Amino acid sequence: MRTVLGVDAGSETPAEAEHLLLDLADRLGAGPGAVLCTHPVRDAAPHYAISLDLPGAPAAVLAAATALVTPTSGLAAVPAAIPAAADSALAGTGPGAGPVRGGSGERQGAAGEVAAAHAAGTSGRAVRFPGADRLTGTVPVAAVLAGTAIDGITVLGGGTADGCVLHTRDFVRPEWRDGRLVLLVLPAGDGRVAPFEVPNPTPCCATHG
C-alpha cells in the first residue's frame, strides 16, 4: 500500500493549489514517479486541498513533510509567492503515516480524506504524474496511454478516442476514478480530442473572481 500525504492549506483556487503542490513536492524531493493531485473541498468556505504520492522511503518523506507543519502555526517556511496558510493540516495514509498534524479540525478532516481518496484511487485531479512532461502539443492517444500513467481516456458525450490525437493545450489533468487515472476529453474535430478542462476558463465577470 502506498503512502500518500494530504495537505489542506485552504488554497482558494486550483491555480493556488497547484502552485503549493509543486513547491511542496520539490522541497520533499519528488522525482518523476510522483503523482500530485488537487481536490475540491466543498464546505462552508469552498477551497482546494492537495495530495502527494511520493515514491521513495516513506519514513524519510514523512519526516520531511511533518517538519513543514507545526501544530500551532501550520504550514511553515512557505516562500513569499505562496499565500501563508496559518490554518493548514498534514495527514498521511499508508505504512508509517503517523497522526495528522497541524490545522483546525476541518483542515485535518479534509487532509485525511484527500490522502485516503488519492491512495484508493477514488478521486483527485492529477497535476503531475509519470509521463506528464511528454504531453505537450499534439500527441497520439495511443502514445498517451502507452507512455504515461494515464490508464484511460473517456470522451464526453460518447464515442471513442481510439485512433485520435490529443490536442493537449499543454494542460492535461487526468482524474482518479475507480482506481484508474482517466482523462476526460471532448471531440475537437477531425480525429482530434482535447481535454475537457481548459487552461484558463472564462472568469465569472469583472466584479468578482
Partner 1 sequence: MDHHHGPHEHGHSHGPGHSHDHTHDGDLPAALDLSVPDPELSPAELDRRAFLRRAGLAGAGAAAASVLATSGPAAASEPGGRTRSGGYLWLAGDHHIHTQFSPDAQYRVIDQVSHGARYGLDWMVITDHGGPAHARFGVDKVNPDIKAARREVPQALVFQGLEWNIPAAEHATVFVAPGPNEVAVLKQFETDYDGTVKNASAGTPANEALAVAGLTFLERQVRVRRVADALMLANHPARRGVDSPHEIRGWRDAAPGIAVGFEGAPGHQAAGIPTPLGPGSGRGFYDNNPSAASFAGYPPESYRTFGGFDWMTSTVGGLWDSLLAEGRPWWITANSDSHKVYADWSKNPVDNNADAPYNAAGDTYNNSGTYGDPVYAGGIQTAYGDFWPGYYSRTHVGATAFDYRAVMAGMRAGRVWVSHGDLIRGLDVRVRVRDGGRDGVTLGGQLKVRRGADVDVRIVIQLAGTPNLAQVIPTLARVDLIAGAVTGAAGDRDTFTTPDTKVVRSYEVGRNTGQVVLTHTFRNVRDPFYLRLRGTDGNRSTPGLLGAAVDPAGPAIDVVGDADPWTDLWFYSNPVWVLPPSPVRG
Half-sphere exposure at residue 67, Cβ-oriented, CA atoms within 13 angstroms: 9
Interface ranges with partner 1 (CB under 8 A): 14, 40-42, 44-48, 156-158, 184, 186-189, 194, 196-198, 201-202, 204-208
Q: How far is the CB of 27 from partner 1 (least distance, A)?
A: 25
Query: CB of 31: closest distance to partner 1 in angstroms?
Result: 29
Longest pairwise C-alpha distance within the chain = 56
- Closest approach, Cβ 33 to partner 1, in A, equals 27
Evaluate whether 199 touches 169 at the Cβ level (below 8 Å). Answer: yes
Of 163 and 203, CB closest to partner 1: 203
Whichever of 15 and 63 has its CB closer to partner 1, that residue is: 15
CA distance 113 to 103: 14
Residues forming a β-bridge with 187: 193
In this complex, which beta carbon is closest to partner 1, that of residue 72 or of residue 207?
207
- Least Å distance between CB 106 and partner 1? 13
Quote the CA–CA distance of 75 and 65 in Å, as a whole number: 10
Pairwise CA distance, residues 186 & 190, whole Å: 12
Supply the Cα-derived Rg of the chain in whole angstroms: 17
Q: How far apart are CA 141 and CA 5, in angstroms?
A: 31
**Smallest separation, CB 157 to partner 1 (Å):** 4
* Smaller CB separation from partner 1, 99 or 158: 158
Task: Report the residue number, 72 or 200, with the smaller CB distance to partner 1.
Answer: 200
